[in-house]
Amino acid sequence: MEFFERFAIPHPSAPIYASMVAIALTIVAIIAGLTYFKKWGYLWREWLTTVDHKRIGIMYLISALLMLFRGGVDALMMRAQLAVPDNKLLDAQHYNEVFTTHGVVMIIFMAMPFIMALMNFVVPLQIGARDVAFPRLNALSFWLFFMGAMLFNISFVVGGSPDAGWTSYFPLAGNEFSTSVGSNYYMIAIQIAGLGTLMTGINFITTIFKMRAPGMTLMKMPMFTWSALITNAIIVFAFPVLTVALAMGTMDRLFGTHFFTTNNGGMDMLWANLFWVWGHPEVYILILPAFGIYSEVISTFARRNLYGYKSMVVSMVLISFMSFLVWVHHFFTMGQGALTNSIFSITTMAIAVPTGIKIFNWLFTLYKGKIEITTPMLYALLFIPLFTIGGVTGVMLGMSAADYQYHNTMFLVAHFHMVIIPGVVFAMLAGLTYWWPKMFGFMLNERLGKLAAWVIGISTLVAFMPMFFSGLDGQARRMYTYSASTGFGPLNMISFVGAIGLAVGFAIIVYNVYYSVRYASRDIGADPWNARTLEWATHSPVPEYNFAIVPHVKSAEALWDAKKKRHILFQGDYEKIHMPNNSGVPFIMSSIFFVWGFAMIFSMWAVAIIATIGIFACMAHRSVEIDHGRYISVRKIEETETKLRGAK
Amino acid sequence: MKELFPMKQIMGFVFSLMLTVVALAVYFLNMSFAMGMTILVVTAFIQAAVQLVVFMHAGETKDKGAIYTNVYYGVAIALVTIFGTLLTMIWGYN
Ligand code: HEM
Ligand SMILES: [Cu+2]
């Protein structure tokens, strides 16, 4: 019995027990369903072992949407708790756990896989490639992320959630003040997912440098691919810092080292420093792909080429470098002198310049464009004004002297939600709607889509604008309740209404998916938006080899110029196509990682050691395994092509 | 004969051994903390450069430009991170 006590929840309540039951029932239902419909083989062959970038993209997408709902429920609980003064819905400890998991889930397990989903699906198609450079590594990336996410998500029913904030500052996150295993979950689950992300970074840089279709020089790449390249470069340089910081934090918590302690030569502030050395580049890792999506959407639906292609590229390269120069703006109040703070204030304001260049380029693209308002375009048009509010308040926060007033108030919370929601979430929804027909072969309903966009756009304002004011009035962030005499009540009530509105907006999107699955036309052709880039030059849904003949590219808007200037994309005859084999090893290895992580979290050393050996065994297997891939014959290609063309 | 004998690699190997000895000396000789750290940082960077150029063959293919751009970018970011951290945590800290 004693052995099992460690898995108990330190701070239980009725809803948590209810969730345990719900989780158990869901697992039973899934297993029963798979067995009843005899889908185990299908699941294993077509999904768990796949190395196809399109399927991996779709799995990322499903995980991201699941996590969006998990994080969304957290958000609703927090807003409900704060809606009225002295509320007793959540107690202090639960509130701490909820805001911690909300932040981690939304940034690391929702936004990251969402951009990974779109990059995985779109980038190889946009550059005319058959897959990514290292397909099996790509599968490993996904499964590591997935297992990390699952590990993090079981924390609230097994052993207790982390409660030191998504920033997990030491000494609060150290053993002295965080006694449950919650912070171990934080350190280890993020570590596992982060390894996957780092591999993706290397994989996509190689893919974009090495696998472009003939004729596609760097300066002829579509803007989304450019943004993916820059993003992955930032990943490769920023994530190792997180890896190291998490490893040091893990050692402090599990092995009694003193990296971040307040005594014995430790330096607690070093955690905050390392966290933000990764953390600020991370916000640009999220926003740059979003900028890439907006660039594609805006030029498609303004029906003209992107204004200032070169300056767009240059400003992204600048942003990628400058994003490493500003991290101290997250802790201006930690005690550095005025000189240090001023240096980082200036770099912070400087980064707004390339960001501004991009905004103006979009405006100039719209100007004189023949604008057609579709759902993705509506998100893009809502993004510009809303994101500007977030950006301008960011510059306010960037002034170190003024930041002493704003820091750790709801003003800050309002800032980053006003950049992340219009910037990242709207872009993901725009990209999802835009590429949906390529992924699934039918379009989402436009009326429902636009309705959802308006509801989400307006609700974002309703939910987050009041926080600017309550923050200036002195409402601190991460405070689980307040008294009526503070006067924060009405503003928080408005925020709550906005949060409900956001939930309604997402519900409309879910309904839209259901509605479109049932009623949308499957007869939409390969290019329903009349778009400009290569992914629309192949069939929808895309055959496994992507392009029967590798395209030849002559301009930055390959498909558009093929349509308008009669460039010929596909020349020559079919040839047999070399494709990678599926493999179960990434899934198995990541499952072992899950066991390893779980064992580490609960200090079960024997299990951890066996799992470590298992992980190395998987790597050894890969080193000696002989796998030359397989070929798709010309006859098979002809068959597939005729079938897909017929379906059009 | 000249093409067959890997002169560059042998010299590189000897040089990297020398760098290791110098770094090791920090432990055995008596010197100030700052001095020791400086020697370690300098030898570490040179060591990394030797490894990249001599043994990992950076600059021997036509990707030379891309590889060196990446390396310089990485070095620049590493330096900014290290010195920025020193500035905030130690030199500029009240
Ligand atoms: C114009 C560009 C931007 C500027 C000048 C800026 C500036 C700042 C500053 C100074 C802070 C720290 C404030 C404080 O703690 O008192 C901050 C926090 C934050 N920013 Fe921004 N920001 C910008 C854009 C972005 C973007 C594009 C994102 C994400 C996509 C973002 C996400 C965040 C997050 C998540 C935090 C809060 C982290 C936390 O303490 O939990 N920011 N920003
Ligand atoms: Cu920042």
Continuous H helices in A539-633: 558-564, 585-601, 605-624
Residues B46 and B4 in one domain: yes
Task: Check pLDDT > 60 for residue A646.
Answer: no
Answer for the pair A488, A469: CB distance below 8 angstroms, yes or no: no
Residues B6 and B41 in one domain: yes
On whether any CB of chain B is under 8 Å from the CB of A343, the answer is yes
Which secondary structure element, helix H or strand E, spans residue A630, and what is its range?
strand A630-632
Determine, for residues B89 and A267 on separate chains, whether the beta-carbon distance falls below 8 Å: yes
Q: Is the CB of A420 under 6 A from ligand 1?
A: yes
Rounded to whole angstroms, the Cα distance separating B36 from B31 reads 6
Three-state SS across A181-208? CHHHHHHHHHHHHHHHHHHHHHHHHHHH
Highest mean pLDDT among A108-122, A361-375, A537-551: A108-122
- Chain A contacts of B33, Cβ < 8 Å? none
pLDDT tens for residues A234-281?
999 999 999 999 999 999 999 999 999 998 889 999 999 999 999 999
Determine, for residues B73 and A267 on separate chains, whether the beta-carbon distance falls below 8 Å: no
- Identify the three-state secondary structure at position A61: helix
- Closest partner residue to A340 (CB to CB) among B66, B74, B88 is B88
Residue type, B55: F
Residues B18 and B52 in one domain: yes
Answer for the pair A534, A118: CB distance below 8 angstroms, yes or no: no
pLDDT tens for residues A92-122?
999 999 999 999 999 999 999 999 999 999 9
pLDDT tens for residues A108-167?
999 999 999 999 999 999 999 999 999 999 999 999 999 999 999 999 889 889 999 999
pLDDT tens for residues A381-433?
999 999 999 999 999 999 999 999 999 999 999 999 999 999 999 999 999 99
Rounded to whole angstroms, the Cα distance separating A329 from A308 reads 30
Residues B1 and B46 in one domain: yes
Q: Cα dist. A607→A183, A184, A192, A291, A592 in Å?
A: 20, 16, 17, 44, 10
Answer for the pair A159, A181: CB distance below 8 angstroms, yes or no: yes
Rounded to whole angstroms, the Cα distance separating A48 from A39 reads 12
Structure tokens at A592: 């072992």
Answer for the pair A333, A403: CB distance below 8 angstroms, yes or no: yes
Q: Which of B26, B41, B56 is the last residue of a domain?
A: B56
pLDDT tens for residues A298-324?
999 999 899 999 999 999 999 999 999
- Chain B contacts of A324, Cβ < 8 Å? 77, 80-81
Residue A281, preceding bond cis, omega within 30 degrees?
A: no
Task: Check pLDDT > 60 for residue A648.
Answer: no
pLDDT tens for residues A170-211?
999 999 999 999 999 999 999 999 999 999 999 999 999 999
Rounded to whole angstroms, the Cα distance separating A636 from A633 reads 5
Closest residue, chain A, to B69 (C-alpha):
A233
Rounded to whole angstroms, the Cα distance separating A414 from A462 reads 11
- Identify the three-state secondary structure at position A374: coil
Among A residues 571-600, those touching chain B with beta carbons less than 8 Å apart:
none
Looking at the structure of chain B, the number of domains it has is 2
Helix, strand, coil percentages for chain B (3-state, nearest 5): 80, 0, 20
Residues B1 and B32 in one domain: yes
Determine, for residues B76 and A321 on separate chains, whether the beta-carbon distance falls below 8 Å: yes
Q: Please name every residue paired with A579 in a beta bridge, in sequence order, or none if there are none.
A: A630
Rounded to whole angstroms, the Cα distance separating A242 from A186 reads 12
Closest CA to A268 of A169, A140, A132, A353: A169
Q: Report CA A211 to chain centroid distance, whole Å.
A: 24
Q: Report CA A493 to chain centroid distance, whole Å.
A: 29
Which secondary structure element, helix H or strand E, spans residue A578, and what is its range?
strand A577-579
Residues B5 and B33 in one domain: yes
Residue having the nearest C-alpha atom to atom 35 of ligand 1 = A416
Structure tokens at A107: 């940034």
Highest mean pLDDT among A503-512, B1-10, B81-90: A503-512
At residue B1, the pLDDT reads 56
Calculate how far, in angstroms, residue A408's C-alpha sits from the geometric centre of ligand 2.
14
Answer for the pair A296, A224: CB distance below 8 angstroms, yes or no: yes
> A21 or A324: whose pLDDT is higher?
A324
Rounded to whole angstroms, the Cα distance separating A294 from A227 reads 11
pLDDT tens for residues B44-73?
989 998 998 888 888 788 878 888 888 898
Residues B80 and B52 in one domain: no
The ligand 1 atom at the shortest distance from the C-alpha of residue A166 is 41
Residues B5 and B39 in one domain: yes
Mean of pLDDT values over A287-308: 94
At residue B67, the pLDDT reads 84
Domain that holds residue B19: 1-56
> A191 or A563: whose pLDDT is higher?
A191
- Closest partner residue to A337 (CB to CB) among B73, B80, B92 is B92
Rounded to whole angstroms, the Cα distance separating A64 from A116 reads 9
Give the global pTM. Answer: 0.93
Rounded to whole angstroms, the Cα distance separating A78 from A633 reads 57
Residues B49 and B73 in one domain: no
Task: Check pLDDT > 70 for residue A558.
Answer: yes
Residues B70 and B42 in one domain: no
pLDDT tens for residues A32-66?
998 988 888 899 989 999 999 999 999 999 999 99
Confidence of residue A577 (pLDDT cuts 50, 70, 90): very high
Task: Check pLDDT > 90 for residue A366.
Answer: yes
Task: Check pLDDT > 80 for residue B4.
Answer: no
- Mean per-residue pLDDT over chain A, rounded: 93
Residues B2 and B25 in one domain: yes
pLDDT tens for residues A580-629?
999 999 999 999 999 999 999 999 999 999 999 999 999 999 999 988 88
Confidence of residue B94 (pLDDT cuts 50, 70, 90): confident
Task: Check pLDDT > 80 for residue B2.
Answer: no
Determine, for residues B88 and A237 on separate chains, whether the beta-carbon distance falls below 8 Å: no
On whether any CB of chain A is under 8 Å from the CB of B93, the answer is yes
- Identify the three-state secondary structure at position A409: strand
Determine how β-strand A630-632 pairs with β-strand A577-579.
Answer: antiparallel
At residue A647, the pLDDT reads 42
Rounded to whole angstroms, the Cα distance separating A376 from A429 reads 7
Continuous H helices in A91-222: 92-104, 112-126, 135-153, 182-210
Which secondary structure element, helix H or strand E, spans residue A631, and what is its range?
strand A630-632
Rounded to whole angstroms, the Cα distance separating A235 from A19 reads 35
Answer for the pair A131, A234: CB distance below 8 angstroms, yes or no: no
Residues B17 and B43 in one domain: yes
Residue recorded with tokens 């080899």: A545
